[in-house]
Amino acid sequence: MPSIAIDISISRLAEMIRQMSKGEMETLLIEMDSEQSKELKRRFKELPSEIKQKKVLSVEEAFNV
């Protein structure tokens, strides 16, 4: 499959991901490397409880943006 590399800031990428619909997010996760996909799915699953428990303050902090 062809690939492309782009130069984009992490904060802009985080904003783009935040604006995705649930279906778009699922498609992105499927297309990603399986190990990265597993980690991202785990982070998204745990993020609401981590924010609630004050382990992280925001999505930006959780993803080191």
How many angstroms separate the CA atoms of 60 and 35, rounded?
A: 21
**Total domains in the fold of the chain:** 1
The mean predicted confidence, pLDDT, of the chain is 80
Residue 1 has pLDDT above 60, yes or no: no
Within a 10 A sphere around the Cβ of 26, how many other Cβ atoms? Answer: 12
- Do residues 65 and 10 make contact, with C-beta atoms less than 8 angstroms apart? yes
Let me know if residue 10 belongs to a domain.
Answer: no
Let me know if residue 40 belongs to a domain.
Answer: yes
Range of the domain at 41: 33-65
Residue 19 has pLDDT above 90, yes or no: yes
Let me know if residue 2 belongs to a domain.
Answer: no
